[in-house]
Structure 1
Amino acid sequence: MTLLFHASDLHFGREDRDALDWFVAEATDAKPDAIVITGDLTMRARSAEFAAAHRWLEALPAPVSVEVGNHDLPYFDVFARFFRPYRRYDALERLIERPLALPHVTIVPLRTTARAQWRFNWSKGIVTGDRLDDTLELLGEADTHHRLIACHHPLIEGGTSGTASTRGGRAALRALSAQGATAVLSGHVHDPFDRTEQIDGQSIRLIGAGTLSERLRDTRPSYNAIHISPTDHSMDVRHVHMA
Protein backbone atom coordinates (compact mmCIF):
# COMPACT_ATOMS: atom_id res chain seq x y z
CA MET A 1 0.00 0.00 0.00
CA THR A 2 1.32 3.43 -0.98
CA LEU A 3 0.34 6.45 1.11
CA LEU A 4 0.25 9.87 -0.52
CA PHE A 5 -0.41 13.13 1.34
CA HIS A 6 -1.99 15.83 -0.84
CA ALA A 7 -2.17 19.42 0.42
CA SER A 8 -2.65 22.75 -1.29
CA ASP A 9 -2.93 26.52 -0.94
CA LEU A 10 -0.59 27.09 2.01
CA HIS A 11 -0.48 30.83 1.29
CA PHE A 12 2.57 31.76 3.35
CA GLY A 13 1.90 35.35 4.30
CA ARG A 14 -1.63 34.31 5.30
CA GLU A 15 -0.74 30.81 6.53
CA ASP A 16 -2.45 29.05 9.43
CA ARG A 17 0.54 28.14 11.62
CA ASP A 18 -1.46 25.70 13.76
CA ALA A 19 -2.69 23.88 10.65
CA LEU A 20 0.82 23.72 9.19
CA ASP A 21 2.26 22.34 12.44
CA TRP A 22 -0.57 19.80 12.58
CA PHE A 23 0.21 18.67 9.02
CA VAL A 24 3.90 18.16 9.84
CA ALA A 25 2.92 16.13 12.92
CA GLU A 26 0.52 14.03 10.84
CA ALA A 27 3.21 13.36 8.23
CA THR A 28 5.81 12.54 10.88
CA ASP A 29 3.43 10.04 12.44
CA ALA A 30 2.06 8.44 9.24
CA LYS A 31 5.29 8.55 7.18
CA PRO A 32 3.69 8.94 3.73
CA ASP A 33 5.61 7.75 0.70
CA ALA A 34 5.35 11.20 -0.86
CA ILE A 35 3.72 14.60 -0.39
CA VAL A 36 2.19 16.60 -3.23
CA ILE A 37 1.48 20.32 -2.80
CA THR A 38 -0.77 21.56 -5.61
CA GLY A 39 0.18 25.21 -5.67
CA ASP A 40 -0.14 28.58 -3.96
CA LEU A 41 2.75 28.26 -1.56
CA THR A 42 2.60 32.01 -1.04
CA MET A 43 0.13 34.87 -0.82
CA ARG A 44 1.94 37.51 -2.88
CA ALA A 45 5.05 35.68 -4.20
CA ARG A 46 7.33 37.71 -1.93
CA SER A 47 10.85 36.46 -1.26
CA ALA A 48 10.18 36.21 2.50
CA GLU A 49 7.09 34.09 1.84
CA PHE A 50 9.03 31.69 -0.37
CA ALA A 51 11.77 31.47 2.24
CA ALA A 52 9.23 30.60 4.96
CA ALA A 53 7.63 28.02 2.67
CA HIS A 54 11.04 26.49 1.97
CA ARG A 55 11.81 26.12 5.67
CA TRP A 56 8.46 24.40 6.23
CA LEU A 57 8.87 22.05 3.26
CA GLU A 58 12.34 21.05 4.45
CA ALA A 59 10.78 19.77 7.70
CA LEU A 60 8.53 17.29 5.86
CA PRO A 61 9.61 13.64 6.24
CA ALA A 62 8.96 12.49 2.66
CA PRO A 63 9.79 13.32 -0.97
CA VAL A 64 7.87 16.46 -2.00
CA SER A 65 6.62 17.77 -5.33
CA VAL A 66 5.19 21.29 -5.60
CA GLU A 67 3.02 22.75 -8.34
CA VAL A 68 2.99 26.42 -9.33
CA GLY A 69 -0.12 28.34 -8.24
CA ASN A 70 -1.44 31.66 -9.46
CA HIS A 71 -0.46 33.33 -6.16
CA ASP A 72 3.13 32.20 -6.72
CA LEU A 73 3.59 34.63 -9.61
CA PRO A 74 4.68 38.20 -8.71
CA TYR A 75 1.61 40.29 -8.01
CA PHE A 76 2.82 43.89 -7.73
CA ASP A 77 6.05 43.70 -9.76
CA VAL A 78 4.83 43.67 -13.36
CA PHE A 79 8.34 43.38 -14.84
CA ALA A 80 9.11 40.34 -12.68
CA ARG A 81 5.76 38.75 -13.52
CA PHE A 82 6.43 38.86 -17.26
CA PHE A 83 10.19 38.43 -17.49
CA ARG A 84 11.39 36.71 -14.28
CA PRO A 85 8.27 35.11 -12.81
CA TYR A 86 10.00 32.19 -11.06
CA ARG A 87 13.17 33.89 -9.80
CA ARG A 88 11.95 33.98 -6.20
CA TYR A 89 11.54 30.21 -6.02
CA ASP A 90 15.32 30.07 -5.50
CA ALA A 91 16.13 27.04 -3.30
CA LEU A 92 12.68 25.56 -3.96
CA GLU A 93 13.42 25.05 -7.64
CA ARG A 94 14.35 21.36 -7.27
CA LEU A 95 10.87 20.63 -5.83
CA ILE A 96 8.87 22.48 -8.47
CA GLU A 97 6.95 20.24 -10.87
CA ARG A 98 9.00 17.25 -9.78
CA PRO A 99 7.73 13.94 -11.23
CA LEU A 100 7.59 11.19 -8.63
CA ALA A 101 7.81 7.43 -9.14
CA LEU A 102 6.41 5.34 -6.28
CA PRO A 103 5.29 1.72 -5.91
CA HIS A 104 2.26 1.31 -8.20
CA VAL A 105 2.09 5.10 -8.76
CA THR A 106 3.59 7.74 -11.04
CA ILE A 107 2.86 11.44 -10.39
CA VAL A 108 3.25 13.80 -13.34
CA PRO A 109 3.00 17.63 -13.23
CA LEU A 110 0.81 19.86 -15.40
CA ARG A 111 1.17 23.63 -15.08
CA THR A 112 -2.17 25.48 -15.27
CA THR A 113 -1.02 29.03 -14.45
CA ALA A 114 -0.13 31.84 -16.86
CA ARG A 115 1.62 35.17 -16.57
CA ALA A 116 -1.22 36.70 -18.61
CA GLN A 117 -4.40 35.59 -20.36
CA TRP A 118 -6.89 37.02 -22.83
CA ARG A 119 -9.42 37.62 -20.06
CA PHE A 120 -9.69 39.91 -17.09
CA ASN A 121 -9.14 37.35 -14.32
CA TRP A 122 -5.62 35.94 -14.65
CA SER A 123 -6.03 33.85 -11.49
CA LYS A 124 -8.10 31.28 -13.36
CA GLY A 125 -6.67 28.14 -14.94
CA ILE A 126 -5.42 27.53 -18.46
CA VAL A 127 -3.89 24.51 -20.18
CA THR A 128 -1.71 25.37 -23.15
CA GLY A 129 -0.82 22.93 -25.89
CA ASP A 130 2.91 22.85 -25.17
CA ARG A 131 2.43 22.19 -21.47
CA LEU A 132 -0.11 19.48 -22.16
CA ASP A 133 2.28 17.86 -24.65
CA ASP A 134 5.05 17.81 -22.02
CA THR A 135 2.73 16.13 -19.53
CA LEU A 136 1.47 13.60 -22.05
CA GLU A 137 5.05 12.68 -22.93
CA LEU A 138 5.91 12.00 -19.28
CA LEU A 139 2.64 10.15 -18.83
CA GLY A 140 3.42 7.92 -21.81
CA GLU A 141 6.72 6.91 -20.22
CA ALA A 142 5.05 5.75 -17.00
CA ASP A 143 4.71 2.00 -16.50
CA THR A 144 2.64 1.96 -13.29
CA HIS A 145 -1.02 1.05 -12.87
CA HIS A 146 -1.86 4.40 -11.27
CA ARG A 147 -0.84 7.53 -13.17
CA LEU A 148 -1.71 10.71 -11.32
CA ILE A 149 -1.62 14.25 -12.66
CA ALA A 150 -0.77 17.10 -10.26
CA CYS A 151 -1.88 20.63 -11.17
CA HIS A 152 -3.04 23.75 -9.35
CA HIS A 153 -6.42 24.41 -10.97
CA PRO A 154 -9.15 21.77 -11.27
CA LEU A 155 -9.44 20.91 -14.95
CA ILE A 156 -13.22 20.88 -14.63
CA GLU A 157 -15.28 22.14 -11.72
CA GLY A 158 -15.50 19.93 -8.65
CA GLY A 159 -18.81 21.24 -7.27
CA THR A 160 -17.23 23.67 -4.78
CA SER A 161 -18.23 27.30 -4.22
CA GLY A 162 -14.87 28.43 -5.59
CA THR A 163 -14.27 27.95 -9.29
CA ALA A 164 -11.27 27.45 -11.57
CA SER A 165 -12.82 28.16 -15.00
CA THR A 166 -9.85 26.37 -16.58
CA ARG A 167 -9.58 27.08 -20.28
CA GLY A 168 -8.76 23.94 -22.22
CA GLY A 169 -9.37 21.88 -19.09
CA ARG A 170 -11.95 19.45 -20.41
CA ALA A 171 -10.01 18.78 -23.61
CA ALA A 172 -6.89 18.25 -21.50
CA LEU A 173 -8.76 15.82 -19.26
CA ARG A 174 -9.83 13.81 -22.28
CA ALA A 175 -6.26 13.67 -23.62
CA LEU A 176 -4.86 12.70 -20.22
CA SER A 177 -7.44 9.94 -19.82
CA ALA A 178 -6.62 8.58 -23.27
CA GLN A 179 -2.94 8.49 -22.28
CA GLY A 180 -3.70 6.42 -19.19
CA ALA A 181 -4.12 8.98 -16.39
CA THR A 182 -6.22 7.55 -13.56
CA ALA A 183 -6.60 10.64 -11.35
CA VAL A 184 -5.97 14.39 -11.26
CA LEU A 185 -4.91 16.12 -8.04
CA SER A 186 -5.57 19.86 -7.75
CA GLY A 187 -6.16 22.74 -5.35
CA HIS A 188 -7.08 26.44 -5.87
CA VAL A 189 -10.70 26.29 -4.65
CA HIS A 190 -9.78 25.89 -0.91
CA ASP A 191 -12.33 23.12 -0.34
CA PRO A 192 -11.81 19.38 -0.84
CA PHE A 193 -13.73 17.37 -3.41
CA ASP A 194 -13.65 13.86 -4.87
CA ARG A 195 -15.55 12.92 -8.00
CA THR A 196 -15.21 10.46 -10.86
CA GLU A 197 -15.65 11.44 -14.50
CA GLN A 198 -16.43 8.97 -17.29
CA ILE A 199 -14.59 9.77 -20.53
CA ASP A 200 -14.91 7.52 -23.58
CA GLY A 201 -15.66 4.55 -21.34
CA GLN A 202 -12.74 5.26 -19.00
CA SER A 203 -12.99 6.44 -15.40
CA ILE A 204 -10.74 9.25 -14.19
CA ARG A 205 -10.87 10.50 -10.63
CA LEU A 206 -10.74 14.21 -9.78
CA ILE A 207 -9.40 14.95 -6.29
CA GLY A 208 -9.18 18.45 -4.86
CA ALA A 209 -7.40 19.46 -1.66
CA GLY A 210 -8.52 22.17 0.75
CA THR A 211 -6.26 24.81 2.30
CA LEU A 212 -3.84 25.02 5.22
CA SER A 213 -4.18 28.81 5.35
CA GLU A 214 -6.42 31.40 6.95
CA ARG A 215 -8.20 31.90 3.62
CA LEU A 216 -11.07 29.53 4.34
CA ARG A 217 -14.22 29.07 2.29
CA ASP A 218 -16.69 26.32 3.25
CA THR A 219 -14.45 23.94 5.22
CA ARG A 220 -11.79 24.26 7.88
CA PRO A 221 -8.10 23.55 7.10
CA SER A 222 -7.54 20.07 5.70
CA TYR A 223 -5.46 17.78 3.53
CA ASN A 224 -6.08 14.51 1.68
CA ALA A 225 -4.58 11.17 2.65
CA ILE A 226 -4.70 8.92 -0.42
CA HIS A 227 -4.17 5.17 0.08
CA ILE A 228 -3.15 3.40 -3.11
CA SER A 229 -3.08 -0.35 -3.67
CA PRO A 230 -1.92 -2.06 -6.87
CA THR A 231 -5.48 -1.90 -8.26
CA ASP A 232 -7.37 0.81 -6.36
CA HIS A 233 -7.09 4.03 -4.35
CA SER A 234 -9.15 5.44 -1.50
CA MET A 235 -9.08 8.91 0.01
CA ASP A 236 -9.64 10.37 3.46
CA VAL A 237 -10.09 14.11 3.91
CA ARG A 238 -8.47 15.01 7.22
CA HIS A 239 -9.41 18.25 8.94
CA VAL A 240 -7.42 20.12 11.52
CA HIS A 241 -8.73 19.46 15.03
CA MET A 242 -10.46 22.46 16.54
CA ALA A 243 -9.79 23.33 20.19
Structure 2
Amino acid sequence: MTRLFHVSDVHFGREDREAIDWFGRKVLEEQPDAVIMTGDLTMRARASEFAAAGKWLESLGRPVTVEVGNHDLPYFNLWARFVTPYKRYKAIERMIEKPLDVKGVSVVPLKTTARFQFRTNWSKGYVSTRSLQESLALVEAVPGDDLIFVAAHHPLIEAGTMATSQTRRGRAALDALATAGVHAVLTGHVHDPFDVAHEIEGRTVRLIGAGTLSERVRSQPPSFNEIRVEGRSFETIARFKGEGSVVL
Protein backbone atom coordinates (compact mmCIF):
# COMPACT_ATOMS: atom_id res chain seq x y z
CA MET A 1 0.00 0.00 0.00
CA THR A 2 1.19 3.52 -0.86
CA ARG A 3 0.38 6.24 1.66
CA LEU A 4 0.46 9.94 0.82
CA PHE A 5 0.00 12.78 3.29
CA HIS A 6 -1.77 15.70 1.63
CA VAL A 7 -1.41 18.94 3.58
CA SER A 8 -2.28 22.51 2.70
CA ASP A 9 -2.63 26.10 3.88
CA VAL A 10 -0.16 26.02 6.74
CA HIS A 11 0.20 29.81 6.62
CA PHE A 12 3.47 30.29 8.47
CA GLY A 13 2.96 33.59 10.23
CA ARG A 14 -0.51 32.43 11.29
CA GLU A 15 0.27 28.73 11.73
CA ASP A 16 -1.30 26.62 14.47
CA ARG A 17 1.85 25.56 16.28
CA GLU A 18 0.21 22.56 17.93
CA ALA A 19 -1.18 21.38 14.59
CA ILE A 20 2.22 21.80 12.91
CA ASP A 21 3.93 19.76 15.62
CA TRP A 22 1.17 17.12 15.51
CA PHE A 23 1.58 16.69 11.77
CA GLY A 24 5.36 16.43 12.12
CA ARG A 25 4.99 13.69 14.72
CA LYS A 26 2.62 11.73 12.50
CA VAL A 27 5.07 11.92 9.58
CA LEU A 28 7.92 10.75 11.82
CA GLU A 29 5.88 7.90 13.32
CA GLU A 30 4.14 6.68 10.16
CA GLN A 31 6.67 7.47 7.41
CA PRO A 32 4.30 8.15 4.48
CA ASP A 33 5.72 7.57 1.02
CA ALA A 34 5.48 11.28 0.19
CA VAL A 35 4.04 14.60 1.36
CA ILE A 36 2.03 16.73 -1.07
CA MET A 37 1.75 20.36 -0.01
CA THR A 38 -0.87 22.24 -2.04
CA GLY A 39 0.00 25.84 -1.33
CA ASP A 40 -0.22 28.78 1.06
CA LEU A 41 2.83 27.82 3.04
CA THR A 42 3.01 31.41 4.23
CA MET A 43 0.69 34.19 5.30
CA ARG A 44 2.34 37.21 3.66
CA ALA A 45 5.20 35.67 1.61
CA ARG A 46 7.78 37.17 3.96
CA ALA A 47 11.34 35.84 3.87
CA SER A 48 11.10 34.84 7.55
CA GLU A 49 7.92 32.87 6.86
CA PHE A 50 9.52 31.00 3.97
CA ALA A 51 12.59 30.27 6.11
CA ALA A 52 10.38 28.76 8.84
CA ALA A 53 8.39 26.80 6.24
CA GLY A 54 11.54 25.46 4.61
CA LYS A 55 12.95 24.32 7.93
CA TRP A 56 9.68 22.56 8.75
CA LEU A 57 9.47 20.78 5.39
CA GLU A 58 13.09 19.65 5.61
CA SER A 59 12.44 18.25 9.09
CA LEU A 60 9.80 15.89 7.70
CA GLY A 61 12.47 13.78 6.01
CA ARG A 62 10.14 12.55 3.25
CA PRO A 63 9.83 13.28 -0.50
CA VAL A 64 7.90 16.55 -0.76
CA THR A 65 6.33 18.53 -3.57
CA VAL A 66 5.00 22.05 -2.98
CA GLU A 67 2.49 24.07 -4.97
CA VAL A 68 2.41 27.85 -4.92
CA GLY A 69 -0.60 29.41 -3.22
CA ASN A 70 -1.94 32.92 -3.54
CA HIS A 71 -0.57 33.81 -0.10
CA ASP A 72 2.90 32.78 -1.28
CA LEU A 73 3.08 35.75 -3.66
CA PRO A 74 3.98 39.21 -2.25
CA TYR A 75 0.75 41.12 -1.67
CA PHE A 76 1.66 44.60 -0.45
CA ASN A 77 4.97 44.93 -2.35
CA LEU A 78 3.76 45.26 -5.93
CA TRP A 79 7.29 45.53 -7.35
CA ALA A 80 8.21 42.20 -5.79
CA ARG A 81 4.88 40.67 -6.88
CA PHE A 82 5.33 41.54 -10.55
CA VAL A 83 9.12 41.58 -11.01
CA THR A 84 10.58 39.07 -8.51
CA PRO A 85 7.57 37.11 -7.16
CA TYR A 86 9.57 33.94 -6.39
CA LYS A 87 12.75 35.50 -4.97
CA ARG A 88 11.86 34.53 -1.40
CA TYR A 89 11.33 30.87 -2.31
CA LYS A 90 15.04 30.03 -2.11
CA ALA A 91 14.63 28.03 1.10
CA ILE A 92 12.26 25.59 -0.63
CA GLU A 93 13.06 26.13 -4.31
CA ARG A 94 13.92 22.50 -5.09
CA MET A 95 10.50 21.36 -3.78
CA ILE A 96 8.38 23.82 -5.79
CA GLU A 97 6.22 22.14 -8.44
CA LYS A 98 8.34 18.99 -8.25
CA PRO A 99 6.79 15.99 -10.03
CA LEU A 100 6.81 12.84 -7.89
CA ASP A 101 6.72 9.18 -8.86
CA VAL A 102 6.02 7.03 -5.80
CA LYS A 103 5.06 3.34 -5.93
CA GLY A 104 2.53 3.40 -8.72
CA VAL A 105 1.43 7.02 -8.28
CA SER A 106 2.68 9.96 -10.34
CA VAL A 107 2.06 13.44 -8.93
CA VAL A 108 1.96 16.22 -11.53
CA PRO A 109 1.92 19.96 -10.64
CA LEU A 110 -0.58 22.49 -12.01
CA LYS A 111 -0.15 26.20 -11.31
CA THR A 112 -3.40 28.00 -10.45
CA THR A 113 -2.07 31.29 -9.03
CA ALA A 114 -1.60 34.53 -10.96
CA ARG A 115 0.35 37.71 -10.26
CA PHE A 116 -2.45 39.73 -11.81
CA GLN A 117 -6.05 39.18 -12.89
CA PHE A 118 -8.72 41.41 -14.38
CA ARG A 119 -10.80 41.22 -11.20
CA THR A 120 -10.42 42.75 -7.77
CA ASN A 121 -9.82 39.52 -5.86
CA TRP A 122 -6.47 38.13 -7.03
CA SER A 123 -6.61 35.39 -4.42
CA LYS A 124 -8.96 33.34 -6.58
CA GLY A 125 -7.78 30.68 -9.00
CA TYR A 126 -6.68 30.98 -12.61
CA VAL A 127 -5.38 28.30 -14.98
CA SER A 128 -3.39 29.72 -17.87
CA THR A 129 -3.10 27.96 -21.21
CA ARG A 130 0.64 27.59 -20.65
CA SER A 131 0.26 26.07 -17.18
CA LEU A 132 -2.33 23.58 -18.40
CA GLN A 133 -0.23 22.55 -21.41
CA GLU A 134 2.83 22.03 -19.20
CA SER A 135 0.81 19.80 -16.88
CA LEU A 136 -0.74 17.85 -19.75
CA ALA A 137 2.75 17.20 -21.16
CA LEU A 138 3.81 15.74 -17.82
CA VAL A 139 0.63 13.65 -17.67
CA GLU A 140 1.36 12.27 -21.13
CA ALA A 141 4.81 11.13 -19.97
CA VAL A 142 3.48 9.17 -16.97
CA PRO A 143 4.00 5.37 -17.17
CA GLY A 144 0.83 3.61 -18.30
CA ASP A 145 0.25 1.67 -15.08
CA ASP A 146 0.52 4.64 -12.69
CA LEU A 147 -2.36 6.47 -11.10
CA ILE A 148 -2.08 10.16 -11.97
CA PHE A 149 -2.70 12.79 -9.29
CA VAL A 150 -2.51 16.48 -10.18
CA ALA A 151 -1.51 18.86 -7.37
CA ALA A 152 -2.77 22.46 -7.49
CA HIS A 153 -3.68 25.14 -4.98
CA HIS A 154 -7.20 26.15 -6.01
CA PRO A 155 -10.06 23.70 -6.52
CA LEU A 156 -10.78 23.72 -10.24
CA ILE A 157 -14.53 23.80 -9.60
CA GLU A 158 -16.48 24.45 -6.42
CA ALA A 159 -16.85 21.59 -3.95
CA GLY A 160 -19.60 22.91 -1.69
CA THR A 161 -17.26 24.31 0.96
CA MET A 162 -17.72 27.49 3.00
CA ALA A 163 -14.93 29.26 1.10
CA THR A 164 -14.78 29.38 -2.69
CA SER A 165 -12.07 29.25 -5.33
CA GLN A 166 -13.87 30.76 -8.34
CA THR A 167 -11.13 29.38 -10.56
CA ARG A 168 -11.18 30.86 -14.03
CA ARG A 169 -10.70 28.26 -16.78
CA GLY A 170 -10.96 25.63 -14.04
CA ARG A 171 -13.79 23.68 -15.64
CA ALA A 172 -11.98 23.53 -18.99
CA ALA A 173 -8.80 22.44 -17.22
CA LEU A 174 -10.65 19.70 -15.35
CA ASP A 175 -12.19 18.43 -18.58
CA ALA A 176 -8.78 18.36 -20.29
CA LEU A 177 -7.12 16.58 -17.37
CA ALA A 178 -9.89 13.99 -17.17
CA THR A 179 -9.63 13.33 -20.91
CA ALA A 180 -5.86 12.90 -20.49
CA GLY A 181 -6.44 10.17 -17.89
CA VAL A 182 -5.94 12.00 -14.57
CA HIS A 183 -7.49 10.16 -11.63
CA ALA A 184 -7.57 12.92 -8.99
CA VAL A 185 -6.85 16.62 -8.52
CA LEU A 186 -5.47 17.50 -5.07
CA THR A 187 -5.98 21.07 -3.85
CA GLY A 188 -6.22 23.38 -0.84
CA HIS A 189 -7.25 27.05 -0.51
CA VAL A 190 -10.71 26.55 1.05
CA HIS A 191 -9.39 25.22 4.40
CA ASP A 192 -11.86 22.33 4.64
CA PRO A 193 -11.37 18.72 3.45
CA PHE A 194 -13.45 17.07 0.73
CA ASP A 195 -13.37 14.21 -1.80
CA VAL A 196 -15.89 14.58 -4.61
CA ALA A 197 -16.10 12.35 -7.70
CA HIS A 198 -17.01 13.80 -11.10
CA GLU A 199 -17.95 11.91 -14.24
CA ILE A 200 -16.54 13.51 -17.38
CA GLU A 201 -17.14 11.80 -20.73
CA GLY A 202 -17.17 8.36 -19.16
CA ARG A 203 -14.15 8.97 -16.94
CA THR A 204 -14.19 9.47 -13.17
CA VAL A 205 -11.90 12.12 -11.72
CA ARG A 206 -11.90 12.92 -8.01
CA LEU A 207 -11.46 16.38 -6.58
CA ILE A 208 -9.69 16.08 -3.22
CA GLY A 209 -9.20 19.06 -0.93
CA ALA A 210 -7.08 19.26 2.22
CA GLY A 211 -7.90 21.36 5.26
CA THR A 212 -5.55 23.74 7.06
CA LEU A 213 -2.89 23.55 9.77
CA SER A 214 -3.26 27.26 10.50
CA GLU A 215 -5.30 29.35 12.89
CA ARG A 216 -7.51 30.34 9.93
CA VAL A 217 -9.99 27.47 10.20
CA ARG A 218 -13.38 27.45 8.49
CA SER A 219 -16.04 24.83 9.33
CA GLN A 220 -13.59 22.08 10.39
CA PRO A 221 -10.68 21.97 12.87
CA PRO A 222 -7.05 21.75 11.67
CA SER A 223 -6.50 18.64 9.56
CA PHE A 224 -4.59 16.92 6.78
CA ASN A 225 -5.53 14.13 4.37
CA GLU A 226 -4.09 10.65 4.24
CA ILE A 227 -4.52 9.04 0.82
CA ARG A 228 -4.18 5.26 0.79
CA VAL A 229 -3.52 3.61 -2.57
CA GLU A 230 -4.03 -0.09 -3.21
CA GLY A 231 -3.41 -1.03 -6.82
CA ARG A 232 -5.84 1.05 -8.90
CA SER A 233 -8.03 2.02 -5.93
CA PHE A 234 -7.52 4.79 -3.38
CA GLU A 235 -9.35 6.36 -0.47
CA THR A 236 -9.05 9.69 1.33
CA ILE A 237 -9.06 9.93 5.11
CA ALA A 238 -9.33 13.36 6.72
CA ARG A 239 -7.36 13.33 9.97
CA PHE A 240 -8.28 16.02 12.48
CA LYS A 241 -6.07 17.34 15.25
CA GLY A 242 -7.32 15.81 18.49
CA GLU A 243 -10.64 14.68 16.97
CA GLY A 244 -9.97 11.45 15.12
CA SER A 245 -10.45 10.82 11.41
CA VAL A 246 -13.14 10.24 8.80
CA VAL A 247 -13.16 8.59 5.39
CA LEU A 248 -14.28 11.18 2.86
Correspondence 1:41-190 to 2 at 5 A:
41-143=41-143, 144-190=145-191
Aligned AA (2:118): W
Aligned AA (1:181): V
Matched with 1:19 is: 19
Aligned AA (1:67): E
Aligned AA (1:101): D
1:82, 1:88 → 2: CA distance? 13
1:145 Cα deviation after fit: 3.0
2:74, 2:232 → 1: CA distance? 41
Matched with 2:38 is: 38
Structure 2 gaps of 5+ residues are: 244-248
Matched with 1:10 is: 10
1:82 Cα deviation after fit: 0.2
Matched, 1:233 2:234: yes
1:163 Cα deviation after fit: 0.2
Equivalences, count: 242
- CA shift digits 1:21-64 (9 cap, x unpaired): 00010111111000000000000000000000011101103100
Structure 1 gaps of 5+ residues are: none
1:156 Cα deviation after fit: 0.5
- CA shift digits 1:168-206 (9 cap, x unpaired): 001000100111100000000000011000000100011
Aligned AA (1:124): K
Whether the 8 Å contact between 1:153 and 1:166 is mirrored in structure 2 is yes
Aligned AA (2:128): T
Aligned AA (2:95): L
1:104 Cα deviation after fit: 1.1
Percent identity between matched residues is 56
TM-align CA RMSD: 0.7
Matched, 1:198 2:196: no
TM-score by length of 2: 0.96
SS at match of 1:23: helix
